[in-house]
Structure 1
Amino acid sequence: METQFRKALTLTITNFSQKTSPINSPSFPSGGCEWYIKVYPKGNGDDDYLSLFLSSGKLRKANFYFVLLNQSGKELHRTPEIGDQLFCADSMSWGFPQTLLKKKLLEKNFLENDRLTIEIYIKVVEVVDGYHMFPASLFTSKLLRSCLEYPDKSDKETVDVNGFQVLSSQVTSVRQIFEEQPDIAVGFRSKNQVVKTEYMNVLLSIMETTRKPRESISETELSNAHSELTELMEVGFKLEWLKRKLEEVSLEWKKANADGFRNQQLEEHVKNLEMTVSDLKLELDIEKGKSTSEAAKVLSLEKMLSDLKIELTNEKAKSASATAKFLLLKETYSDLKVELDKEKSKSTRAAAKVLSLKETLSDQS
Structure 2
Amino acid sequence: MESEEVDNKFTWVIKNFSTLQYDKIYSDPFVIGGCKWHLLAYPKGNKFNNSLSLYLVVDDARALPCGWRRYAQFSLTIINQLTDKLSQRGEKQNWFNQRNLGSGFTSMIPLPNLHAKNAGYLVNGEVKIVVEINDLEVIGKLDVSEESEETNQPLKKIKLDDNDAVSFDSLNETSPVKESIDVNGFQVLPSQVESVKCIFERHPDFASKFRPKNRHLKSTYMTVLLGLIKTLCQLPEELTDDDLDEASVAVSYVENGGLRLDWLEKKLAEVKAKKKKVETGKARLQRAEEELQKLNQKCLELKAFLEKENADVSEANVPLSFEDVV
Which category describes the TM-score, using the shorter chain as reference length?
Answer: 0.3 to 0.5
When Rg is computed on C-alpha atoms for both structures, the one with the higher figure is 1
Q: Whose strand fraction is larger, Structure 1's or Structure 2's?
A: 2
Q: Give the TM-score, by structure 2 length.
A: 0.47
Q: Give the TM-score, by structure 1 length.
A: 0.43
